[in-house]
């Protein structure tokens, strides 16, 4: 008799349970997403290989040639001066659609490699085309005079 009363228009407990469960999971998902969106990764230690690369990228993008060159080994500084005097790459970056991420770091005793991913976002030209282009650069570092210095930097124009 109770089963027939339920089928005749009374609320189905199973359906109510499913709807309530979906609502609870939705609220939990929104709370977790909001909490994660507010958190960012802490900046790397400025004296670590990743921190040196991070400082170099910031100096190049802000147009601060002296600060960028101070983070290079002597050999890299000389090589880059020859190239940059010819091409003149240091300029303040105004490109808001470029994202630069430090991906991985491999550290040995006196050498290190930091993977840098440069992603550029642009308007799609067609419905099936991607709106992002990414390039990876392996930045090599050496210990010089007791501190990490970049021995093989990415090309400065790649960071704009």
What is the token pair recorded at 37? 């969106």
Neighbour tally for 88: CB within 10 Å: 10
CA pair distance 60, 66, nearest whole angstrom: 9
Domains of the chain: 49-159 (3.10.450.50)
Give me the pLDDT at residue 83, please: 67
Q: In terms of Cα–Cα distance, which of 80, 116, 83 is closest to 99?
A: 116
Give me the pLDDT at residue 89, please: 54
Give me the pLDDT at residue 4, please: 47
CA pair distance 131, 116, nearest whole angstrom: 20
What beta strand segments (E) does 17-75 contain? none
Q: What is the mean pLDDT of each run of 10 residues along the chain (160 residues)?
A: 52 86 91 73 81 91 86 89 60 66 85 90 72 87 92 79
Give me the pLDDT at residue 115, please: 93
What is the token pair recorded at 17? 């349970």
Give me the pLDDT at residue 49, please: 92
Give me the pLDDT at residue 6, please: 54
Where do we find the tokens 């010819």? 86
Q: In terms of Cα–Cα distance, which of 114, 160, 117, 119 is closest to 136?
A: 117
Q: In terms of Cα–Cα distance, which of 89, 27, 85, 37 is closest to 64?
A: 89
46: Cβ contacts below 8 Å, ≥ 6 apart: 52, 54, 55
What is the token pair recorded at 141? 């570092």
Q: How much is the pTM? A: 0.65
CB 153 within 8 A of CB 78: no
Give me the pLDDT at residue 159, please: 74
138: Cβ contacts below 8 Å, ≥ 6 apart: 113, 114, 115, 116, 152
């Amino acid at each position: 008799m109770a089963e027939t009363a339920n089928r005749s228009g009374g609320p189905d407990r199973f359906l109510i349970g499913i709807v309530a469960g979906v609502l609870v999971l939705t609220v939990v998902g929104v709370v977790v997403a909001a909490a994660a969106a507010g958190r960012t990764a802490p900046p790397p230690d400025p004296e670590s290989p990743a921190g040196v690369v991070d400082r170099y990228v910031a100096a190049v993008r802000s147009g601060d040639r002296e600060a960028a060159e101070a983070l290079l080994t002597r050999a890299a500084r000389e090589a880059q001066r020859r190239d940059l005097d010819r091409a003149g790459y240091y300029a303040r970056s105004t490109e808001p659609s470029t994202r630069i991420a430090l991906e991985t770091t491999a550290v040995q005793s006196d050498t290190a490699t930091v993977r840098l991913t440069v992603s550029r976002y642009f308007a799609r030209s067609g419905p099936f085309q991607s709106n992002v282009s990414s390039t990876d650069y392996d930045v090599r570092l050496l210990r010089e005079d007791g501190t990490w210095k970049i021995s093989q930097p990415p090309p400065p124009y790649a960071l704009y």
